[in-house]
Amino acid sequence: MGIFDGRRIVLGVTGGIAAYKAVEVCRRLVDAGAHVSPILTKGAEKFIGRATFDALASEKVQTSLWEEEHPIPHTNLGQKADLILVCPATARLLSDYRTGRSADLLTATLLATRAPVIVCPAMHTEMWEQPSVQENIKELIQRGVEIVGPEEGRLAGGDDGAGRLSDPVSIVAAVERVLNSGLNSQIQDFAGLQVLVSAGGTKEPICPVRYIGNRSSGKQGHAIAIEAATRGAVVTCVTTEPSQSPQHPHLRVVAVETADEMAQAVFSQAAKSDLVIMAAAVADFTPVTKSDKKIKKSEEGLEIHLEPTVDILASLGSSHNGKQILVGFAAETNDLEENAKKKLNTKGVDLIVANDVSEANVGFNHDTNAAVLFDSTGRRTELPLADKRHIAQAILDIALKLRVDKHREIGETQ
């Protein structure tokens, strides 16, 4: 039995001197049980022969959109893949992939897949350090592509520097990590659990036209909802952004707008939920009176009186049953850790996910996030910048562990 038994990996090889190392990567993947479908670009064929991959991989090399047996080889490969590995990746490949340019069979396959993608760049230092190349890398990371390497070391032509392809052992280790992560694996560790997630920013109406809102996009809450559903949970997602919510047979979307509507929806579901995750940015105040007609412009200015909304999370925290896991968020612009720890206690939650929303690429409306997590046992976990689905995955891992520990504790004291 190999660690990759039954997993289908498309191995894309582009034209760089490091292409010869893809041979060893291919052999290691096949030895570990993977079904490897190799794609060579025209450039790759200048460096390495088809016959080598034909002999080592699980099927014959494919190179073109037009000459293969299957009439639409890119969708066939892209849809069946559990993972696509591009090794090595040239600057051209990074640029085409970033801009969505379907230039050949490999780039078309990258466009035609929902599988996770690992890209291993290799090129000369000058090319690697070009701002255009670095921008492409940054953008791909933000979209959730895993970048492995490059490393410092000897390059073609006797040069030394950054740009050398990572060694095959590290590349295969990255494949194992990505395949085993909850993102695309068949792990069903939330099977049998009911999960309630809130997402988005509430909108507090002033009049039929205007509202008081905040910058939350709902992306982090939605990522948690789909991750939990993928891992087997029955999920209710109470969201102010229902049109942006992902879809899944086990995911029920409840559309709300105001803090009050969110409170009603959450309270009606909370008691039967094993985990409640309040990722929504709930308004702390709402206008005392809402005009039923559009408020007209006037010279005197406008005063709006606000009253506090119900703190949904604190209310759940003061009343939830001992077995439920309650997760809150803390959106901060200063004194992140201190404020987060305070919220962990005052809101009575098991886990608080704190993010500094003033930092670049973190929090509101970004596809990426970074967070520090504090749990009620005093543990602190740092999640570095990653796409929101990866952050969701880590939050759920920790929440599930807290649940297991809590249930064990309850079992021991009974």
Catalytic positions: 214
Stretch that binds ligand CTP, among 118-126, 223-231, 280-288, 298-306 (CB under 6 A): 280-288
Question: Does 329 help bind ligand CTP (rule: CB under 6 A)?
Answer: yes
- The distance of Cα 131 from the centroid of its chain, to the nearest Å, equals 25
Q: Which of 282, 386, 392, 394 binds ligand CTP (CB under 6 A)?
A: 282
User: Which whole-number Å values give the CA distances from 18 to 41, 60, 123, in the listed order?
Assistant: 14, 21, 8
Residue with smaller CB distance to ligand CTP, 82 or 375:
375
Give pairs for 290-293: CB < 8 Å, separation 24+.
Answer: 290/205, 290/206, 290/207, 291/206, 291/207, 291/208, 292/207, 292/208, 293/207, 293/208
Least gap, CB of 80 to ligand CTP (angstroms): 40
Least gap, CB of 257 to ligand CTP (angstroms): 14
Judged by CB under 6 A, the chain residues 355 through 374 that form the site for ligand CTP are: none
Least gap, CB of 265 to ligand CTP (angstroms): 12
Question: Does 278 help bind ligand CTP (rule: CB under 6 A)?
Answer: yes
**Secondary structure class of 69 (helix, strand, coil):** coil
Least gap, CB of 230 to ligand CTP (angstroms): 22
Stretch that binds ligand CTP, among 47-55, 82-90, 288-296, 325-333 (CB under 6 A): 325-333
Residue with smaller CB distance to ligand CTP, 14 or 240:
240
Say if residue 350 is exposed, middle or buried (CB neighbours under 10 Å; 0-12, 13-18, 19+): buried
Apex CA 31: angle with CA 26 and CA 36, to 5°? Answer: 45
Q: Which of 21, 203, 343, 366 binds ligand CTP (CB under 6 A)?
A: 343
Query: Which residues are bridge partners to 164 per DSSP?
Result: 151
- The distance of Cα 203 from the centroid of its chain, to the nearest Å, equals 26
Residue with smaller CB distance to ligand CTP, 22 or 259:
259
Question: Does 313 help bind ligand CTP (rule: CB under 6 A)?
Answer: yes
Cβ contacts of residue 45 below 8 Å, gap of 6+? 15, 63
**Are the C-beta atoms of 199 and 265 separated by less than 8 Å?**
no
Question: Does 229 help bind ligand CTP (rule: CB under 6 A)?
Answer: no
**Are the C-beta atoms of 341 and 379 separated by less than 8 Å?**
no
Q: Which of 19, 22, 133, 331 binds ligand CTP (CB under 6 A)?
A: 331
Question: Does 270 help bind ligand CTP (rule: CB under 6 A)?
Answer: no
Residue with smaller CB distance to ligand CTP, 189 or 311:
311
Cβ contacts of residue 310 below 8 Å, gap of 6+? 259, 260, 263
Q: Which of 122, 175, 196, 280 binds ligand CTP (CB under 6 A)?
A: 280
Residue 145, sorted as left (phi over 0), alpha (psi -120 to 50) or beta, turns out to be beta
Question: Does 222 help bind ligand CTP (rule: CB under 6 A)?
Answer: no
DSSP 17: T
Instruction: Report DSSP letters for 106-128, one per residue.
Output: HHHHHHT--S-EEEEE---HHHH
Question: Does 284 help bind ligand CTP (rule: CB under 6 A)?
Answer: yes
Least gap, CB of 198 to ligand CTP (angstroms): 6
Greatest alpha-carbon pair distance for the chain in Å reads 82
Residue with smaller CB distance to ligand CTP, 135 or 284:
284
Residue with smaller CB distance to ligand CTP, 291 or 339:
339
Q: Which of 309, 324, 369, 393 binds ligand CTP (CB under 6 A)?
A: 309
Residues at the site binding ligand CTP, with contacts judged by CB under 6 A: 259, 278, 280-282, 284, 309, 311-313, 328-331, 343
